Structure 1
Amino acid sequence: MQTINQDLANQAPVNTSLSIIPPLFQQVCVIGLGLIGASLAQAIRDNHLSKRLVAVDRHLPSIEEAIAQGLLDAGSAVLSDVVSGSDLIVIAVPVQAAQAVFSDIKAAMDNGQLATDCIITDVCSTKVNIIEAAQAVFTSLPVGLVPAHPIAGAENSGYHARRSNLFVNHSVIICELPTTRVSAINKLRQLWEAVGATVMPMAAAHHDSILAHTSHLPHLLAFNLVEQLASHNDNLDMFRYAAGGFRDFTRIAASDPKMWHDIFFANQSAIVSALDEYSVYLQDIRQLIIDKDSTALMGLLGRAQAARRHFGHMLASTPYTDTSAMSASYNITPSNTVIGTIAIPGDKSISHRSIMLGSLATGVTHVTGFLEGEDALATLQAFRDMGVTIEGPDKGRLTIHGVGMNGLKPSKTPLYMGNSGTSMRLLAGILAAQKFDSVLTGDTSLNKRPMERVASPLREMGAVIQSTGHNGTSPLSITGRDNVGKPLHGIDYDMPVASAQIKSCLLLAGLWAEGTTTVTQPEISRDHTERMLSAFGYPVTVDGNRISIEGGGTLTGGDIAVPADISSAAFFMVAAAISQGSELTLTQVGINPTRTGIIDILKLMNADITLSNETYVGGEPVADITIRSSNLVGIEIPEALVPLAIDEFPVLFIAASCAQGRTVLTGAKELRVKESDRIAVMADGLQTLGVDCTVTEDGLIIEGQGSNSQSDEVNNSQPVFGGGHIVSHHDHRIAMSFAVASLRASKQITIEGVETVNTSFPGFAELASQIGMNIEVNKGVDNSIDNA
């Protein structure tokens, strides 16, 4: 065979590619040219990671073809024919054949063909038996042994199914043994990263247990289900009418039976344990169906559905909704007029609180108008993770089966808040009072935002809570009361800044605290928590800026109607005010007096705004808001209004740019610690579009470029902004604000990083286009992780 290989090697095309970076290895020997072995060989060749590449496989046609195609320099059915001088050996054979391969490797070492410190790795699906096989052959494990497992595959197998990109964006698990040279581990890590994989360490026994649940058990079930259906007398009809779910689930039963036969025996203990656990769950769901326990079954199905999507985003630290896994941008062609009557999505703040209090209530809570945006979905998932059955969302409707004040269960994983600061800060108050330990984490952006502003006063109440890093950011680790040994106690807290999130966090913690919890705020902030607590039957005392609550009460479920979000409506209010000949009516928008700063400020700027059909929905005041084109004027924004419009300032900066004269904002430091530093980011964007503005320590000065006409006639036809490329820093309000600016732009505006618009306003671009704006959404590459 060796002579045949040499002849074929002489005929093979010469690889004249020159690599600037020296190859990692002198010679790699791949044992087994199936899908994984051949794909790794191809990736090594394509990335110039080894000077020579040889292989061993009993199927000689694969060897001969690989040499003829220039993939291999030599190959054989016998290891000793080609292995001499190899500094990396990759074992890519079925797990049951590994011990025989180790025997061949040891023989090559004994006869001097291989160095005793040669790196030896594998790609098998089990790890404990690989280590045991090596131990049986070598007695003392080789210093170059690095067990590994690439989590990758394809429906087809064999040499011809190879793909050099098979491992790109896939994980490779490496078992770092104490007997292995560190340099060998590092070099193998370099190899896998060079072919596009992400390397992660894991103990061998833990690997086998995890894979038993996530890979081996699904394959076993797929094989078994196909066997079950094939054994039926009416099997032909069963397969003829099998739907997509059956085809998708059983696709993996087309895998190589010999390989899976070996895996099932090699990982016997872990697979049997996984089967036993699965049997318990199967019996439970069987009983739920027999008992027709609708609530429990919906809870199980709902948690499973949400978890299927949730864990991929959590592990990737990406925003929560499907489209948020995409990088996206807006390309906006200037338009001049917006007209129509539209409904704005539900209020995000109220949506958050409806889930939280509904989950903690006794009885069932029905929610309508729920905002199905990323942030609120993160809160919903967190409570599902803590054992709450929640049906929906279905067109804004939720049914929450409350578990009572002491019914939450510990989550088996960190609670993932996506990009939602509200979720994290309010949940910190609830979790600080629970019996169990918990961890709160979020995406990359959220994990940079300050959390000591809630952690510090919670500690004054007796909470044991640890933030991360010098700046006190998340993840937050919260110790349960069972481990602390005593409940929280009420405090009298003077807030340094007016913040509804801090206030709400402490009031929610106060539900379980001994005594009275009182929060005094320097200015009025959003009072949705106080209103909703009252709606759930929990008494709250409000005395000016002092809000107090007694611990130990209960919440009672009921009906919650979520009004339209005034923060989302703000974008369209400004859009109509700054554009020519425009008139918009926004229906049933929440006009809670702690949220109407946007209306008050726009009116001070001379905006034409009227309210009609005023009423109450679920304890919250609502109204239809009509806005017409206006000659806006610059103002000094009263600091008392700042907390009442804190989220709306990005779009108010657009209004100020279109106003006549100077607008001055002070007392708005809070804007610097939102999803981005909204003062700095907005200033950069305004300057990019040609607006003169000055950043101050706690605000912004904007030189408006509106018309100086003294006529009563509205003149919003002249462009204020040029065109340009805006970087939103993945801040949803920044992105939507500059989209509004296009109504007074002279050229196209491109806004980068708009995928997070789904955090607060799903469907924004479509609704904007419906009333006359020209927004084209460009979605980039999907960066999400599928951990099925």
Structure 2
Amino acid sequence: MSFSLNVQQPLFQQVCIIGLGLIGASLAQAIKDKGLSKRLVAVDKHAPSINEACQQGLLDAGSSVLSDVVHGSDLIVIAIPVQAAQAVFVDIKKAMDSGQLTSDCIITDVCSTKVNIVHAATAVFEELPIGFVPAHPIAGAENSGYHARRAQLFVNHSVIICELPTTSYQAIADLSALWEAVGASVMMMSAEHHDAILAHTSHLPHLLAFNLVEQLASHDDNLDMFRYAAGGFRDFTRIAASDPKMWHDIFFANKSAIVSALDEYSVYLQEMRQLIIDEDSTALMGILGRAQAARRHFGHMLASTPYTDTSAMSASYIITPSNTVTGTIDIPGDKSISHRSIMLGSLATGVTHVTGFLEGEDALATLQAFRDMGVTIEGPTNGELTIHGVGMNGLKPSKTPLYMGNSGTSMRLLAGILAAQSFDSVLTGDTSLNKRPMERVAAPLREMGAVIQSTGQSGTAPLSITGRDSVGTPLQGTEYDMPVASAQVKSCLLLAGLWAEGVTTVIQPEVSRDHTERMLSAFGYDVTVEGNRISVKGGGTLTGGAIAVPADISSAAFFMVAAAISQNSELTLTQVGINPTRTGIIDILKLMQADISLSNKTHVGGEPVADITIRSSNLKGIEIPEYLVPLAIDEFPVLFVAASCAEGRTVLTGAKELRVKESDRIAVMADGLQTLGVECTVTEDGLIIEGKGTASQEGEINNNQPVFGGGHITSHHDHRIAMSFAVASLRASQQITIEGVETVNTSFPGFAELANHIGMSIEMHDSKA
């Protein structure tokens, strides 16, 4: 949320702030700067602060006595130590009784504890006023006092408002409007829940910081202790520079919740102490790894990044046309295989070492989910992971919903695994993922006996999955005839079948990517493949080992098309996975007469790989064979760019699957192509593109002429849409701006940098900056 610095219409006639410390004075300054009150008065026993605030024009009036200035106030903000609040309530009640304040005057506070504030008010007022609204801004600074005030202190910080049964809706609305106007975001919470949360996240860390500094200061060699203290010590103990009197009062005011948090912390500390004594490396790495990952994970969830909320655009590409790409480059690891290496490695017996792991947002969401379910995972470091498998029945219930970010693969495959577990679970994702259909996996899982509840009429996430302990029976093997070829649906059912009684068979209408089948075999699990029938028998085990993840052909596709449509270009992409269920992109480009060659063919981790070299090509429009559609389903956005640059018409049919990806990729690509001047027609299950390439003489490459104009493209936060239109810039006549590209990191971290390395010109722009 962004906030204007311009003066706004006053929300209040007169605001009275009691206490001109850091918070009170900062709020006063923000109210003054924003013009949020016609008059601003304050009460503080420190006369110099009052005098200076009046002389500087911050206040219209000030005093050490409330009754001197409070008359006519419609908002009172209590910004003093929590232990002094009851005496202030006595003064406020006197002002109400004498007619200086109306009965509906809003009374709020900024104290760090809330239950005792409510108790203090209750002790003074016979009935709590309808304008009494406890609140707490989660903001602060190392320095305190009037001179430390900052009008911007609350910008992009949270304010917790505690709604009471006695509080009027209007009072809550007016106070919320004030805090939002000074830049804060408002959240509602009960007073009890507030105190419990703050005890863990604020009060306990302060107590520990004070205690650690005291411990080191008490050592005989305390001077050396502080002389050689590293940056981490200074960072952690910085908060011990806070006001001791304030924290003394807070610790007593929130005694019950803080003691409970201390007891819980002591249990964790004792556990870690014992692990160090026992030299239990695996368990200690589990704690350290989960802690490191959790900090990053929840940071993503709470920030506007592609790992969480994609409802607001936060980044864009501004691309200057270029016409040649050259070089030899490495493509990041395969996302599909990275997902499965985490899943099967976690469920295996023994240790699995993974190399080439894709450290993109989607795969990291899968990794975090298994950490949340108790799996110790070391890394990733430079694409390497060590997974300490817990076996087929070793997963533990997560204490919170499992957050899948933007990853449909994570959610759909995990649904199959979790449907067979003993415990209940919930799968959720970001705004985009929670709009995508999940009944396509939920419905067949129900046929196996799973109890799954999707959300809304369209059957979307969050998914609530009831554990087998509650159901009372294991999953039952089934034979499922898929209406549409989908590797995600197939993999979901095969994974569920690992625990099912009997045999689970999936029949696919067309071949789809077979990474799950290959990796199950690599982990020692028997998989039967008979044409398009794939079967597993429940009750087996997985054995850990080494997994090497090849480069992702879906990511390589962008650079394959880039070289083919540009002039005087030659690119070599090293050791790219060429699994026959994934090479539709190569087959289709060859049908379009692209100049592609494969060399250095070998196998990595059971997957075939090769170096792919592609050169400038005179592409021809084709009717894409439907049997190739499942083998190139993720690559069609960039193939649409290739078709636009081809000579003649390209027709795609049998591709309904594209409508239920991160976006409706048929409709979104058609909109973008038309924006850039390419004629295309959307059909029920595909797209017809009128290519703008021109005929050339035998042997000549004629890729100099622009095919696309310039303009603004909306990617709908779909990473493949964003990268595809970036490739289109190679045949554009003007600058192209692509909005909403932050999700590129879900599958291809470093895409823009790599593209620029080979000759493109992509500038990243953060619209929040």
Fold match, TM over 0.5? yes
Question: Secondary structure of the equivalent of 2:276?
Answer: helix
- Distance in 1 separating the partners of 2:100 and 2:567: 83
Q: 1:146 aligns with which of 133, 144, 151?
A: 133
- Distance in 1 separating the partners of 2:306 and 2:467: 28
Which residue matches 1:287?
A: 274
1:654 matches 2:654: no
- Distance in 1 separating the partners of 2:320 and 2:248: 60
Which residue matches 1:110?
A: 97
Q: Which moved more, 1:719-728 or 1:673-682?
A: 719-728
**Do the aligned partners of 2:180 and 2:186 also contact (CA within 8 Å) in 1?**
yes
- Which runs of at least 4 in structure 1 moved beyond 6 Å after TM superposition? 17-20, 321-326
Which residue matches 1:778?
A: 765
Question: Secondary structure of the equivalent of 1:29?
Answer: strand
Task: List runs of 5+ in structure 2 lacking aligned partners.
Answer: none
**Cα 1:766–1:181 shift into 2, 3 Å:** closer
**Do the aligned partners of 2:717 and 2:742 also contact (CA within 8 Å) in 1?**
yes
Q: 1:430 aligns with which of 413, 417, 420?
A: 417
- Distance in 2 separating the partners of 1:213 and 1:325: 31
Q: Percent identity?
A: 87
Which residue matches 2:173?
A: 186
Which residue matches 2:454?
A: 467
Which residue matches 1:737?
A: 724
Question: Secondary structure of the equivalent of 2:314?
Answer: strand
1:509-548 CA-to-partner distances (Å, cap 9, x unmatched) read 1111122211111111111111111111111111111111
Which residue matches 2:535?
A: 548
1:252 positional shift: 0.8
**Do the aligned partners of 1:324 and 1:755 also contact (CA within 8 Å) in 2?**
no
| AA aligned opposite 1:554 | T
Question: Secondary structure of the equivalent of 1:108?
Answer: helix
- Distance in 1 separating the partners of 2:231 and 2:767: 28
Which residue matches 2:696?
A: 709
| AA aligned opposite 2:195 | D
Which residue matches 1:767?
A: 754
Which residue matches 1:491?
A: 478
- Distance in 1 separating the partners of 2:236 and 2:63: 38
1:484 positional shift: 2.0
Which residue matches 2:46?
A: 59
Task: List runs of 5+ in structure 1 lacking aligned partners.
Answer: 1-16, 783-788
Q: 2:550 aligns with which of 544, 548, 563?
A: 563
**Do the aligned partners of 2:309 and 2:431 also contact (CA within 8 Å) in 1?**
no
| AA aligned opposite 2:453 | Q
| AA aligned opposite 2:638 | V
1:605 matches 2:569: no
1:112 positional shift: 2.4
**Cα 1:721–1:181 shift into 2, 3 Å:** closer
1:310 matches 2:297: yes
- Distance in 2 separating the partners of 1:90 and 1:417: 41
**Do the aligned partners of 1:578 and 1:658 also contact (CA within 8 Å) in 2?**
yes
1:612 positional shift: 1.6
**Cα 1:396–1:548 shift into 2, 3 Å:** same
Which residue matches 1:632?
A: 619
1:292-318 CA-to-partner distances (Å, cap 9, x unmatched) read 111111111111011111112223463
1:779 positional shift: 3.1
Which residue matches 1:364?
A: 351
1:683 positional shift: 1.4
1:334 positional shift: 2.1
- Distance in 1 separating the partners of 2:608 and 2:308: 30
1:202-228 CA-to-partner distances (Å, cap 9, x unmatched) read 111111111000000101111111111
1:569 positional shift: 0.8
1:429 positional shift: 1.0
**Do the aligned partners of 1:320 and 1:377 also contact (CA within 8 Å) in 2?**
no
**Cα 1:325–1:469 shift into 2, 3 Å:** closer
Question: Secondary structure of the equivalent of 2:290?
Answer: helix
**Do the aligned partners of 1:317 and 1:442 also contact (CA within 8 Å) in 2?**
no
**Do the aligned partners of 1:317 and 1:418 also contact (CA within 8 Å) in 2?**
no
Question: Secondary structure of the equivalent of 1:781?
Answer: coil
Which residue matches 1:80?
A: 67
Question: Secondary structure of the equivalent of 1:112?
Answer: coil
**Do the aligned partners of 2:8 and 2:36 also contact (CA within 8 Å) in 1?**
no
1:16-66 CA-to-partner distances (Å, cap 9, x unmatched) read x99774x33222211111111112222222333222221110011111222
**Cα 1:681–1:18 shift into 2, 3 Å:** closer
| AA aligned opposite 1:183 | Q
- Distance in 2 separating the partners of 1:313 and 1:479: 27
**Cα 1:774–1:190 shift into 2, 3 Å:** closer
**Cα 1:712–1:328 shift into 2, 3 Å:** same
Q: Which moved more, 1:41-50 or 1:87-96?
A: 41-50
**RMSD over equivalenced CA pairs, Å:** 1.9
Query: How do 1:237-636 and structure 2 match up within 5 A?
Result: 237-316=224-303, 318-320=305-307, 327-636=314-623
1:372 positional shift: 0.7
**Do the aligned partners of 1:642 and 1:668 also contact (CA within 8 Å) in 2?**
yes
- Distance in 2 separating the partners of 1:315 and 1:615: 43
| AA aligned opposite 1:556 | T
Question: Secondary structure of the equivalent of 1:588?
Answer: strand
| AA aligned opposite 1:25 | F
1:320 positional shift: 2.7
- Distance in 2 separating the partners of 1:18 and 1:550: 67
- Distance in 2 separating the partners of 1:634 and 1:348: 30
Normalising by structure 2, report the TM-score.
0.97
Question: Secondary structure of the equivalent of 1:644?
Answer: helix
- Distance in 2 separating the partners of 1:738 and 1:181: 52
**Do the aligned partners of 2:313 and 2:739 also contact (CA within 8 Å) in 1?**
no
1:323 positional shift: 13
1:627 positional shift: 1.1
| AA aligned opposite 1:105 | I
- Distance in 2 separating the partners of 1:684 and 1:245: 51
1:228 matches 2:215: yes
1:684 positional shift: 1.7
**Cα 1:174–1:444 shift into 2, 3 Å:** same
- Distance in 1 separating the partners of 2:566 and 2:559: 11
- Distance in 2 separating the partners of 1:245 and 1:225: 13
1:317-373 CA-to-partner distances (Å, cap 9, x unmatched) read 632399999922222222222222211111000000000000000100011110111
Which residue matches 1:174?
A: 161
Question: Secondary structure of the equivalent of 2:365?
Answer: helix
- Distance in 2 separating the partners of 1:82 and 1:88: 13
| AA aligned opposite 2:285 | M
1:412 positional shift: 1.3
**Cα 1:54–1:321 shift into 2, 3 Å:** closer
**Do the aligned partners of 2:14 and 2:75 also contact (CA within 8 Å) in 1?**
yes
Kindly tell me the number of residue pairs found equivalent between the two proteins. 765
**Do the aligned partners of 1:317 and 1:443 also contact (CA within 8 Å) in 2?**
no
1:643 matches 2:624: no
Normalising by structure 1, report the TM-score.
0.94
- Distance in 1 separating the partners of 2:241 and 2:26: 20
Question: Secondary structure of the equivalent of 2:91?
Answer: helix
**Cα 1:780–1:237 shift into 2, 3 Å:** farther
- Distance in 2 separating the partners of 1:181 and 1:530: 60
- Distance in 2 separating the partners of 1:196 and 1:418: 27
